[in-house]
Structure 1
């Protein structure tokens, strides 16, 4: 199912807008839409993480946002913007992931771009999605970005998971951020979204995908490589596949399964190294 788009939310030149609309038309004809994975099919460990989120919820430009800050001195002109999966701020896993980014030295912001309506684990995605298209989710996201830039933050690294991967893609396409990463993204048009990215973006991007994902499958990943890899995307592109894991692996892992633990940590480390290398 495709998201509705709100081109006005991303002001660009007429040339870019015409190209954008043209590619959207082509998408309907030839692109494969990466399906969203049903909430119940996301991995949910039977034993909950005993750790407690250490950040706090604040309101930024009218948007509820989880903020996690490093314990040591950090660069106040740089930030990580974490875009969650469909479980949003109510999911401790998303908040703990933000805390990991803060522990790595970045002030980290997790906007509630789901507008207080995250889906429950057993929710019905088909009825939930129409109220969470780009027209609904883009405004709060851009509101937070605008506020962060007004605070003096000059470099924003966006990292998106599942549902959030679509929005990192948009921010990369529109050159809104400094660097982007995503893990097991969903709802993308492939290859059209990456054709557009290659045409108009100058933002480096990295993707972590899972061997057993039923959304962004290895075949879709290879199709993405066909557009972006081998120096075709000059700003910088990297994709890393993690075997033996499925959709959601970069957010949640069973502590008793070393394959899952290693994959989750590997995805974080890969994204962290990518972001650091492009923020310097």
Structure 2
């Protein structure tokens, strides 16, 4: 499996990240904590970043947004401080010379999953008993993997990459107990409309008892939910719509507070 051209494109979003870096069981993590003292203390949303990692300002801003909605969010640096640099968003030459296959060879599941598991173990030592996960692109693959093992109780994948369809969808259906939200779009080589339709056929119409929903954002391209060009009204609406749908999904299944905070 590989990535597509849209996996390495992006636009920097406005804002200053407000979370803090913490070391959890030896793993560096970006942590966004709700200011509401009444927020859940035993639940965490795992933010599983794309190839630009926990260092991406866009990812940090989204983690902060979840925290503003009463959801403590932890983004483990499962790329070991070796993300694809966000400079490729604005430097076409760097995109052309980027050895994405070489990078992927050093960040396969045999490496990254162990880092995630270590961070999760550290959070459990802190008293966390309930986990949800939201994954973008590369991170969507790990939402599925954690759900396969029923480590998480709620799943959100936005324009996931590196999934096999229908095999991974069928495995999720047969093994996971976590309700699944998919944020999808019009142009997506990694999770095209054929795969989206397969997901609906497998999970939809009440067939997946834990819960299933697929949101579709017309006119958007792979990556829209975290690094799309917000000067495009359709992309802006898609990014905000995917976030709102994610918060609603988390609230529905016991994470955060529907009345705390806003975007």
Same fold (TM over 0.5): yes
**Aligned-residue RMSD, C-alpha:** 1.5
Is 2:21 the counterpart of 1:57? yes
- The 3 A distance-change label for structure 1 pair 255 and 224 is closer
Corresponding position of 1:186:
161
User: Is this contact kept in 1: 2:140–2:158, CA < 8 A?
Assistant: yes
The worse-fitting range, judged by mean Cα deviation, of 112-121 and 239-248 is 112-121
Corresponding position of 1:44:
10
- Identify which of 90, 114, 137 aligns with 2:55: 90
User: Is this contact kept in 1: 2:13–2:227, CA < 8 A?
Assistant: no
In structure 1, stretches of 5+ residues that fail to align are: 2-34
Is 2:81 the counterpart of 1:116? yes
Correspondence list, 1:173-252, <5 A:
173-252=148-227
In structure 2, stretches of 5+ residues that fail to align are: 89-94, 256-263
Corresponding position of 2:92:
none
Q: Displaced runs of 4+ in structure 1, greater than 6 A?
A: none
Corresponding position of 1:69:
33
User: Is this contact kept in 2: 1:44–1:252, CA < 8 A?
Assistant: yes
Corresponding position of 1:137:
112
1:42 CA displacement: 4.1
SS at match of 2:221: coil
SS at match of 2:220: coil
CA distance in 2, matches of 1:58, 1:179: 24
User: Is this contact kept in 2: 1:55–1:68, CA < 8 A?
Assistant: yes
Aligned residues: 244
Give a deviation string over 1:109-138, Cα, whole Å, max 9, x none: 000111111113333211111111100100
1:207 CA displacement: 0.5
CA distance in 1, matches of 2:198, 2:99: 29
1:43 CA displacement: 4.0
- Identify which of 46, 50, 57 aligns with 1:81: 46
User: Is this contact kept in 1: 2:7–2:223, CA < 8 A?
Assistant: no
CA distance in 2, matches of 1:50, 1:203: 33
TM-score normalised by structure 2 residue count: 0.88
1:41 CA displacement: 5.2
User: Is this contact kept in 2: 1:206–1:239, CA < 8 A?
Assistant: yes
CA distance in 2, matches of 1:62, 1:209: 34
1:194 CA displacement: 1.6
1:37 CA displacement: 2.1
